[in-house]
């Protein structure tokens, strides 16, 4: 590798009022801050599916340190826009406080609400997407075919949505449960070639079940907008350092998979049923229980499976000088237990979900 692959991050945030309840002020916040309500691409603030959400997008960066700075800058931009409408931008993947979502008044989103009913009406969920550059569709499909077994582990590191409609769901990521209601969401089979990938996408669109290719919500996909592989399994993370950690690990996965393909190593074919089950288990317990090891397809402590992930991408991390940063950020994550554990600990202290939102807002902007 002559130079590190570029990577970019999209983060979705809840907009909440002074009492911590979601507020439908995204369009007003974007307009007041001078951002387009149709979205502005990299470096801009954008609307999301619900009026209670706002999204940031970094520029492509090859330096992890520069990306970390831009992740924080994006959060600051989101809060600056929220300030204009007496709201706060908070990195919670679901609202702990009961809500009624308000679909953005764009034709496409309103059509999705009509077509998908409650699945669309309840999609007040906030994710984190990591884009990593690939040379072309051939390399991109080779990567997508190879990283699937590790995506459940990546998702476990991000889990940050234990509460839903005022109740503890007993999941670390209930967002993952809500998200997989979409018909095209989840893990994928081995495609083999760009032609195979694009044929699968075209076949899904041809069913007239989804509106267009942008609603093909694979866990990892070729981005419809950029020359990247886009990994979409993560909750938005409370701590911006966790987002940086995920970006480094995803870039490591992409680089490792590309090297395996270039070396002629065949892509694994473990079956969608195993990948889906591993993802469900990761969303259920996050870092607090066992995960499914991609090396054995048997349960193992989360700490061990995360260690296997780091070992899998170690060479790629070392080549970009990210290994020590990843080690340090993982240490910090283990010390806190991650977003779901922190939310539950805060609630255990006070019994106040509005207070959970307030403390999450503070950590969002550290």
Crossing angle of helices 302-319/323-336, nearest 10°? 160
Task: Name the fold adopted by 7-364.
Answer: Creatine Kinase; Chain A, domain 2 (3.30.590)
* pTM score, whole prediction: 0.96
pLDDT surpasses 70 at 56:
yes
pLDDT at position 43: 72
pLDDT of residue 38: 63
pLDDT of 107: 83
Higher pLDDT, 257 or 43: 257
Q: What is the pLDDT of residue 217?
A: 97
CB atoms within 10 A of CB 13: 28
Does position 2 have pLDDT exceeding 90, yes or no?
no
pLDDT of residue 44: 80
* pLDDT > 70 in the chain, percent: 98
For range 222-250, the mean pLDDT: 97
Domain ranges of the chain: 7-364
Judge whether residue 164 has pLDDT over 80: yes
Whether the pLDDT of residue 248 is over 70: the answer is yes
């Amino acid at each position: 590798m002559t130079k590190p692959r570029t990577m970019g991050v999209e983060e979705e945030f809840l907009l909440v009022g002074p009492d911590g309840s979601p507020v439908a002020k995204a369009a007003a916040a974007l307009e007041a801050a001078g951002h387009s309500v149709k979205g502005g691409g990299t470096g801009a603030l954008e609307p999301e599916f619900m009026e209670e959400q706002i999204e940031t997008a970094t520029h492509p960066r090859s330096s992890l340190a520069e990306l970390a700075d831009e992740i924080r800058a994006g959060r600051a931009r989101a809060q600056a826009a929220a300030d204009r409408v007496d709201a706060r931008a908070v990195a919670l993947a679901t609202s702990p406080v009961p809500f009624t979502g308000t679909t953005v008044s764009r034709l496409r989103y309103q059509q999705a609400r009509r077509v998908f009913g409650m699945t669309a009406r309840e999609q007040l969920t906030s994710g984190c997407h990591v884009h990593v550059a690939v040379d072309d569709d051939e390399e991109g499909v080779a990567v997508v075919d190879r990283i699937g077994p590790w995506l459940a582990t990546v998702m476990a590191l991000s889990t940050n949505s234990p509460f839903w409609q005022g109740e503890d769901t007993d999941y670390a990521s209930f967002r993952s449960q809500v998200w997989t209601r979409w018909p095209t969401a989840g893990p994928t089979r081995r495609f083999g070639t760009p032609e195979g990938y694009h044929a699968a996408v075209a076949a899904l669109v041809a069913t007239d079940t989804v509106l267009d290719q942008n609603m093909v919500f694979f866990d990892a996909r070729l981005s419809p907008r950029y020359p990247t592989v886009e990994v979409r399994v993560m909750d938005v993370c409370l701590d911006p350092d966790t987002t940086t950690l995920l970006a480094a690990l995803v870039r490591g996965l992409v680089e490792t998979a590309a090297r395996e393909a270039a070396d002629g190593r065949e892509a694994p074919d473990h079956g969608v049923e195993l990948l889906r089950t591993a993802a469900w288990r990761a969303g259920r317990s996050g870092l607090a229980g066992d995960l499914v090891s991609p090396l054995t397809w048997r349960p193992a402590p989360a700490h061990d499976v995360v260690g296997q992930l780091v070992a899998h991408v170690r060479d790629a991390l070392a080549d970009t000088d990210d290994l020590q940063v990843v080690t340090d950020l993982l240490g910090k994550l283990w010390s806190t237990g991650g977003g779901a554990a922190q939310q539950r600990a805060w609630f255990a202290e006070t019994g106040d979900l509005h207070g959970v939102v307030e403390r999450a807002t503070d950590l969002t902007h550290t």
